[in-house]
Amino acid sequence: MNIVVNEELKAYIDPMSPEEYAALERSILTEGCRDALVLWGDVLVDGHHRYGICQKHGLPFQTVQNTHFKTMEDVHLWMIDQHLGRRSISDYQRGVLALRKKVIVDDQRSRALSETSSSDDPPFDVDTPAGESPADNASALPPPAPLNSRESIAKAARLSSSQVVMIEKIQKQAAPELVAAVKSGVISINTAAAVASLPAEEQVTAANAGKDELKQAAKRVREAKRKPREESPEPASNDQSAKPDAVEALEQRVAELTRENDALRKQVADLQAQLAVQLAD
């Protein structure tokens, strides 16, 4: 059997740790390769580690064809969903996979909308597309649900929305050494996101120094963010010092209005007295 190992597919999902690989190897040597390798034609889609171990020790294995795949994007989405359903991957890995899935789904939906709007044909054709048999059309994968919000991404990854935000920040701002630390589980997502706020040189220095220094760096970042909030009441105290001047000005204005009001009342009283005299005459 000719099996093609596509290096891009092999690297698409983060590889096992040495400990996980050793455990899988022991299991296969003891019990054999129980799960079939998944193929798309000749291309190996799932089971790269199992295939390598079986090749290394000359052990038999089974294969199964997935006939639903039409494009490499279909393969990627299937791989992502398979790994999102496993408990062995970390929270960070699940978040990264869910964000990858969002990119693929968004691209597919954009292309579909573009093709629909640029075509004069009805968007839903009841006929079988040219070049496809009814069986082929029936076996096509259903379109995945859109991931159009952080909440939907978080649900797909079984994370919180805040964790998704932190993972996005790590992907955009973290140095490779910091990413390696959170991938390996040396530090948490929270710690990595905090350290990612630092310049790249400081991230690398902290990552090279190890777990304790990374935690200290994250602590310094959080304290620096808290400090301005703690110092923010100072402008309010300045406002308080300015408050008596404003009160004094208001009091003066009230006094002026009171005097004007008294004068007007006196004028009204004088007019009423003059009117009474005229009526009496």
Length of the chain: 281
Q: Considering the domain boundaries, does residue 120 fall inside one?
A: no
User: Mean pLDDT throughout 16-28?
Assistant: 92
Whether the pLDDT of residue 172 is over 80: the answer is yes
pLDDT band at 161 (very low <50, low <70, confident <90, very high): very high
- Sign of the dihedral through C-alpha 64, 69, 72, 74: negative
H-helix segments, the chain? 7-12, 18-31, 48-57, 72-84, 91-118, 134-138, 150-157, 161-173, 176-183, 189-195, 200-209, 211-231, 233-280
Q: Are 60 and 95 in the same domain?
A: no
pLDDT of residue 128: 39
pLDDT of residue 168: 94
Q: Are 88 and 22 in the same domain?
A: no
Answer whether 27's CB lies under 8 Å from 42's CB: no
Give the global pTM.
Answer: 0.67
Q: Are 42 and 102 in the same domain?
A: no
Whether the pLDDT of residue 143 is over 70: the answer is no
Q: Are 52 and 15 in the same domain?
A: yes
Q: Are 78 and 11 in the same domain?
A: no
Q: Considering the domain boundaries, does residue 253 fall inside one?
A: no
Last residue of a domain, one of 156, 182, 217: 156
Q: Exposure pattern of 33-44 as b/e (b: 16+ CB <10 Å)?
A: beeebbbbeeeb
Rounded distance, CA 193 to CA 197, Å?
Answer: 7
Whether the pLDDT of residue 243 is over 70: the answer is no
pLDDT of residue 17: 83
Boundaries of domain holding 17: 1-67
pLDDT of residue 262: 76
User: Comparing C-alpha atoms, which of 149, 170, 152 is closest to residue 218?
Assistant: 170
User: Mean pLDDT throughout 202-228?
Assistant: 91
Q: Considering the domain boundaries, does residue 189 fall inside one?
A: yes
Q: Considering the domain boundaries, does residue 78 fall inside one?
A: yes
Q: Considering the domain boundaries, does residue 161 fall inside one?
A: no
Q: Are 1 and 54 in the same domain?
A: yes
Q: Are 59 and 92 in the same domain?
A: no
pLDDT band at 234 (very low <50, low <70, confident <90, very high): low
Q: Are 33 and 97 in the same domain?
A: no
Lowest mean pLDDT among 5-14, 221-230, 234-243: 234-243
Q: Are 23 and 91 in the same domain?
A: no
Q: What is the pLDDT of residues 38-77, one digit of tens each?
A: 999 999 999 999 999 999 999 999 999 999 999 999 999 9
Angle between helices 150-157 and 91-118 (to 10 degrees): 130
Q: Are 82 and 145 in the same domain?
A: yes
Q: What CATH number is given to the structural domain containing 47?
A: 3.90.1530
Token pair 């960070």 is at which residue? 92
Assign 210 to helix, strand or coil.
coil
Whether the pLDDT of residue 130 is over 50: the answer is no
Q: Considering the domain boundaries, does residue 244 fall inside one?
A: no
Mean pLDDT score of the chain: 82
Whether the pLDDT of residue 160 is over 70: the answer is yes
pLDDT of residue 227: 72
Q: Are 1 and 62 in the same domain?
A: yes
User: Comparing C-alpha atoms, which of 20, 62, 9 is closest to residue 38?
Assistant: 62
Q: What is the pLDDT of residues 88-99, one digit of tens each?
A: 788 999 999 999
**Number of folded domains in the chain?**
3
pLDDT of residue 96: 94
pLDDT of residue 247: 63
Angle between helices 161-173 and 150-157 (to 10 degrees): 100
Lowest mean pLDDT among 121-130, 171-180, 238-247: 121-130
Whether the pLDDT of residue 113 is over 60: the answer is yes
Q: Are 43 and 89 in the same domain?
A: no
Q: Considering the domain boundaries, does residue 242 fall inside one?
A: no
Q: Considering the domain boundaries, does residue 98 fall inside one?
A: yes
